[in-house]
Amino acid sequence: MKPLGRNSLRPLPKSFFCHPTLWIARNLLGKGILRIVGEDKILVRIIETEAYLSKNDPASHSFRGPNGRNRSMFGPAGTCYVYLSYGMHYCMNVVTGAKGVGEAVLLRAALPVFGERAIVRNRPGVRTKDWMSGPGKLTKALEVDRRFDGLFFGDHGLFLVDLGRPCGRVAATPRIGISKATNLPYRFVTEVRT
DNA sequence: TGCCTGATTGCCT
DNA sequence: GGCAATCAGGCAA
pLDDT of A16-68, one tens digit each? 999 999 999 999 999 999 999 999 999 999 999 999 999 789 999 999 898 98
Separation between the CA of A157 and the C1’ of C5 (whole angstroms): 31
Q: What is the residue type of A78? A: G
| 3-state SS assignment for residue A188 | strand
pLDDT for residue A194 = 42
Is beta strand A158-162 parallel, antiparallel or unpaired with respect to A32-37? antiparallel
Q: At A48, is the secondary structure helix, strand, or coil?
A: strand
More confident residue, A62 or A2: A62
A26, A170 contact by CB (below 8 A): yes
Rounded CA-CA distance A47/A62 in Å is 24
pLDDT tens profile A123-138? 999 999 999 999 999 9
As ranges, strand C nucleotides with an atom below 7 A of a protein CB are 5-11
Give the tens place of pLDDT for each residue, A146-159: 999 999 999 889 99
What is the reported pLDDT for A135?
97
Q: In this model, does residue A139 exceed pLDDT 90?
A: yes
pLDDT of residue A152: 94
pTM value?
0.94
Nucleotides of B under 7 A from a protein CB: 5-11
Q: What letter would DSSP give residue A72? A: G
- pLDDT score at A5: 57
